[in-house]
Amino acid sequence: MIAKKRFATVLLSVLALTTAACSEKKMLSEKELETQSQAALTKAVGAQAPSVDCPDEIEAKAGSSARCRMTIDGKAFGVSVKVTEVEGLNAKFDVKVDEKPLDTAGAAAQPADHPTTLSPAGFTALRKFVTLSRKELKTSTLRSRCGALGGDDADEQVARIQAACASIADITGATGRLERCSTAGGGQSKVLGCLADQLDQISAFSRDALQASADLVKSAGLAAGACRAYLLDPAERRTLRRFGTAAERSADVFRSPSPTAAQLGDAVNRLEVASLRFARSTTSSTITELRQASACQP
């Protein structure tokens, strides 16, 4: 249920800072991690292993690690990947698959007798949130409307949806401030510091949005079903998580003493890729989104 199209324009001012360049750090891309992890598991078990899905790239050095996922017989399992050795262009991995499966939230599944839809008040607030999240509104206006989502029938589910909406409003505000950083003056150091501050906030607010949807599922006690799958869409959550991680890592680069052109270029590239991925994942219309949300109708 993550609000759509609130993140794709965040790079407008950042991209003007520098041209693309290669990073001074050697990184292992998600694709490399996924391919190498699958190959390692295939070799270990002596049979073709299922494909592995990793959330982000990691640094190519011994000790770097990632948490990935794979699907076995229709069930998702966590996969721990750790780099044990790097020599030239080659890396060796220690790959372990969790013994117990995950559900879409990464936790134990709810019993089958739990509800599979939201409360009437929760569903009404969800529909309003979907529509509201597609509108281009000032931060103050959006925040005000977030607070009014529940009307007189507010319950705990409505409060969780209001929290998700507030996170989107906060991201909207941080995005606006980010775009103004490059015109604030004061030299490159001040501009980069301004960008870093806003990217840190965007990263934090993105985590808040992810947590709000997980809290909604928990407060509603939702069992597995179409509503839970919609609220915890793993592809959408992974894309937003990657965007938040990219923002956080780029903030670290912008805040570092005397970053090189290569480091700045790599940070911008990282943000651009993450933003484009999110933009590609948020192309559905409001009508389509409301149709998907109807899975939560009581």
Average pLDDT, the chain: 80
The C-alpha atoms of residue 78 and residue 98 are separated, in whole angstroms, by 5
Statement: residue 214 has pLDDT above 60: yes
Domains 14-22+110-296 and 27-102 share a fold: no
Is the predicted pLDDT of residue 74 greater than 60, yes or no? yes
Residue 297 clears pLDDT 90, i.e. is over it = yes
Q: Pick 255 or 4 by higher pLDDT.
A: 255
d(CA 139, CA 141): 5
Please state the pTM of the whole predicted model.
Answer: 0.67
Above 50 in pLDDT, residue 21? no
Residues 26-44 pLDDT 10s:
778 778 888 888 888 888 8
Mean pLDDT of 237-244: 83
Better pLDDT: 6 or 290: 290
d(CA 86, CA 199): 31
Q: What is the pLDDT, as a whole number, of residue 106?
A: 43
Q: pLDDT over 70 for what percent of the chain?
A: 83
Indicate whether 108 pLDDT > 50: no
pLDDT band at 89 (very low <50, low <70, confident <90, very high): low
What is 27-102's CATH topology?
A: Nuclear Transport Factor 2; Chain: A, (3.10.450)
If pLDDT is split at 50, 70 and 90, which confidence band does 276 have?
Answer: confident
**DSSP category for residue 155:** -
Tell me, what's the pLDDT at 121?
A: 92
Q: Which residues of 69-88 are buried (b: 16+ CB within 10 A; e: fewer)?
A: bbeeeeebbbbebebeebee
Q: What is the pLDDT of residue 57?
A: 77
pLDDT attached to residue 242:
83
Domain ranges of the chain: 14-22+110-296, 27-102
CATH code of the region 14-22+110-296: 1.20.1420
